[in-house]
Structure 1
């Protein structure tokens, strides 16, 4: 998908996980089970384990928060999502995508 569409940002997560990390009206991105950030938005800094960050050619980075599917009912998953989100927010990587 990244190679075909060259998006600036993308995320895969449940609605429940998203709502647990960001208020509904907050236009910024959030950290999901899979999160993609284009290189044009900035470099992805080191992230806490068990997060994996993998480059997608020269386009950007895809991050996998955990090897298992994330659940909004799991406090450890929510804490990891919040920690990663804080790191990405601090670098401006989750700022709103403007058209």
Structure 2
């Protein structure tokens, strides 16, 4: 930018480089709609990412809790009885299913 342009930009702000919002608002309607859809998709994907992070944290916490109980030395039949009484997820559900199949195969 030469010195004359710099002086003009200071005197007349509309001469300065356009802002991002200025470009968006001056764009045709079709471009504005595409930008709006992309912005909505971006926000939606962030929401999904945050939800998944919370789900993985919960699953990791439940798996750690199950591992503590599993390796505590409690009898597997007692653990099976306790876990089969409630709804389980993750490793606990796998354990209950495996114990049920093992019991069927030994009968």
Q: TM-score range by the shorter chain?
A: under 0.3
The answer to which structure, 1 or 2, has the higher relative contact order (CA under 8 A, 6+ apart) is 1
Greater strand proportion: 1
| TM-score computed with the length of structure 2 as normaliser | 0.22
| TM-score computed with the length of structure 1 as normaliser | 0.24
Greater helix proportion: 2
